[in-house]
Amino acid sequence: MTTYTQIDSNKRRSFLLLTTFLIVVILVGWVFSQALNNPLILYIAVAISFTQALIGYYAGDKITLAISGAKQIKKENNPELYNIVENLTIATGLPMPKIYIINDTAPNAFATGRNPHTASIAVTRGILEKLDKNEIEGVIAHELSHVKNYDIRFMTLTVILVGFIVLVSDLFLRWTFWGRGGNREE
């Protein structure tokens, strides 16, 4: 598989993921509206599904970075890390991503964003403390490969949409336990 077929595949998978998400949430809304004989539920499901899809697509990277506690850095904050990322982006022909550091001792890194022009790379303090320059360069090169192949769009959408489904499932379970479906005296 070439890089271009991988990029095309990830773009198609992202579109398919969003489409499937919309269909599933609307279908679930329709089932509940029929079961409870309340068409308002379907309208709410349609509104929520489109809103969440737009949020996932346009703000998923910002949500991911905020949840992880990442702080954006400039060249003067960490010139060595900045130069590593800058050199690798020049070598790969990618635009310079935003660079973030997460205050965590566990060695980890990730890339996020919709496309190479909105990409961000986050590394933990653990990586910076435990790896030497060549190893950090390898980690950043790996993350840039995710940026170049549009893996970041698909994975960011997956995380945001699955998180939404988990929240709705939890809300539904609480509603059935404490609301209409449950007996409060049990």
Catalytic residues: 143
Residue 141 Cα distances to 9, 53, 108, 145, angstroms: 21, 30, 14, 6
Residue 101 Cα distances to 4, 84, 105, 108, 181, angstroms: 30, 14, 11, 10, 45
CA distance 40 to 56: 24
Task: Give the rounded distance of the alpha carbon of 185 from its chain centre.
Answer: 41
